[in-house]
């Protein structure tokens, strides 16, 4: 260990918290068996690091050091809280002796603690809203405010939902483990949507002044890889492929100032060809199976975009066909909207506009800013500028993300020139 000044340690601790805190928390939850106590132990471990690392140096494995320190902090907390209970020494002793080999705490294996935590947070006895909220909070470290924004809910409501979910896990004795192979396929139905939501929050943040949160996308892909190693199911492959193919475009999605760049305008030389190759291979593997589903189909659409030399050379006929299959397999208004945009690219803006307006008239996406943005763009392309301006303004009212608002404002400014 090298002795470093406090500023260097502070910077390294911030990096460690960003990259490792959720994994440390997952291991502490396994060792301690209590969400709240594990969270308290996590914060005490980082506080101890802030004091000790400038004097003792940064350990070779910060994660293992934090887990070990957090475990001992938890023992201290248990003894303080339960000083008058006769069983406290036994509880502390079990915690002290039940941690296993500290070397394992720095290891990333297929059945790692983070993946265990995902399955616990996504247990079928919890509602879907609770699964998503708990996973975003505990697995990914989003704040209650960030989750509330994604849910279009209040922070107080989300906080109560998370507290209730933790109580349900404790009272129902939900196991902290990866399910056995017999139970794993059906449990995936609750896990895959959560991982994809985490990815999307990182790939295109639901709100705020930053378009992307690369740490969340990376974590979702890591979890997808772990699942694929554990069970190479066609839909697991499809989800991992979909995330990789979307992630491959990250560098091209914003310009040097952080402004949004549409797919058709992106510099395709910036796309990550290694990620694309891996994603395409996974798509092909998934589609060869009879068990593929919505994620594999969405990945197939993303693969067509990724392999097209230019926007003009994209096979829109194939994309429209795939959306047709997808809407029969997993119907939703958002899929209908995406298909409508693809139809507009194949058959012209008038054909797409008819479909988009029918979706909005049904009231299904009336508060979805991208539906109004799509309508505005089609109206603009048809030179119906007055209607386009009104649609852009409605999209801006509904958008919550800074870069998207800025992009829509640019479109408005262009209409007024």
Query: Has residue 152 been placed in a domain?
Result: no
Considering 105, 137, 162, which residue would you say is the last residue of a domain? Answer: 105
Distance, CA of 201 to chain centre: 5
Query: Has residue 384 been placed in a domain?
Result: yes
Query: Has residue 296 been placed in a domain?
Result: no
Query: Has residue 344 been placed in a domain?
Result: yes
Strands (E), 33-188: none
Task: Give dist(CA 25, CA 20) in Å, integer.
Answer: 9
| Mean pLDDT, residues 384-398 | 95
Task: Give dist(CA 27, CA 49) in Å, integer.
Answer: 18
Query: Has residue 408 been placed in a domain?
Result: yes
| Mean pLDDT, residues 379-386 | 95
Kindly report the pTM of this predicted structure. 0.77
Query: Has residue 126 been placed in a domain?
Result: no
Considering 105, 139, 161, which residue would you say is the last residue of a domain? Answer: 105
Considering 105, 134, 164, which residue would you say is the last residue of a domain? Answer: 105
Distance, CA of 340 to chain centre: 26
Query: What's the domain count of the chain?
Result: 2
Range of the domain at 370: 315-417
| Mean pLDDT, residues 393-404 | 88
What lies within 8 Å, CB to CB, of 380 at 6+ separation is 388, 411, 415
Query: Has residue 244 been placed in a domain?
Result: no
Read off the pLDDT of residues 162-201 as tens digits, 9 standing for 90 and up.
999 999 998 888 888 878 777 777 788 888 988 998 888 7
**For 134-138, 215-219, 249-253, 395-399, which range has the lowest pLDDT when averaged over its residues?**
215-219
- Any idea what DSSP says for residue 136? I
pLDDT of 249: 94
Query: Has residue 183 been placed in a domain?
Result: no
């Amino acid at each position: 260990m090298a002795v470093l000044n406090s500023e260097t340690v502070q910077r390294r601790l911030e990096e460690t918290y960003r990259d490792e805190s959720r994994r440390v928390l997952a291991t502490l939850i396994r060792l301690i068996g209590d969400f709240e106590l594990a969270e308290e132990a996590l914060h005490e471990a980082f506080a101890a690091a802030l004091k000790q690392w400038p004097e003792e140096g940064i350990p070779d494995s910060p994660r293992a050091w934090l887990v070990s320190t957090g475990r001992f902090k938890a023992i201290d907390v248990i003894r303080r809280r339960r000083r008058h209970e006769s069983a406290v020494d036994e509880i502390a002793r079990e915690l002290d002796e039940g941690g296993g080999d500290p070397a394992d705490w720095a290891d990333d294996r297929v059945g790692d603690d983070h993946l265990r935590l995902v399955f616990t947070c996504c247990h079928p006895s919890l509602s879907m809203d609770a699964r998503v909220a708990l996973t975003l909070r505990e697995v990914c470290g989003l704040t209650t405010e960030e989750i509330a924004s994604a849910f279009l809910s209040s922070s107080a409501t989300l906080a109560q939902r998370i507290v209730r979910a933790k109580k349900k896990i404790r009272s129902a004795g939900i196991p902290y483990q990866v399910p056995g192979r017999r139970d794993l396929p059906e449990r995936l139905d609750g896990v895959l949507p959560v991982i994809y939501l985490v990815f999307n929050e990182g790939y295109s943040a639901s709100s705020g002044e930053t378009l992307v949160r690369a740490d969340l996308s990376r974590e979702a892909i890591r979890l997808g890889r772990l699942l694929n190693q554990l069970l190479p199911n066609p839909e697991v492959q499809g989800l991992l492929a979909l995330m990789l193919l979307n992630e491959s475009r990250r560098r091209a999605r914003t310009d040097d100032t952080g402004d949004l760049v549409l797919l058709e305008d992106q510099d395709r030389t910036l796309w990550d060809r290694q990620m694309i190759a891996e994603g395409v291979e996974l798509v092909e593997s998934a589609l060869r199976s009879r068990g593929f589903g919505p994620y594999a189909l969405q990945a197939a659409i993303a693969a067509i975009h990724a392999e097209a030399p230019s926007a003009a050379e994209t096979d829109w006929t194939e994309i429209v066909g795939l959306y047709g299959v997808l809407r029969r397999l997993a119907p939703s208004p958002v899929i209908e909207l995406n298909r409508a945009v693809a139809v507009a690219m194949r058959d012209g803006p008038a054909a797409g506009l008819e479909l988009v307006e029918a979706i909005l008239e049904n009231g299904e996406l009336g508060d979805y800013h991208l539906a109004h943005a799509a309508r505005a763009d089609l109206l603009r392309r048809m030179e119906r500028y007055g209607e386009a301006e009104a649609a852009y303004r409605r999209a801006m009212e509904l958008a919550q993300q800074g870069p998207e608002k800025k992009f829509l404002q640019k479109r408005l400014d262009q209409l007024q020139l």
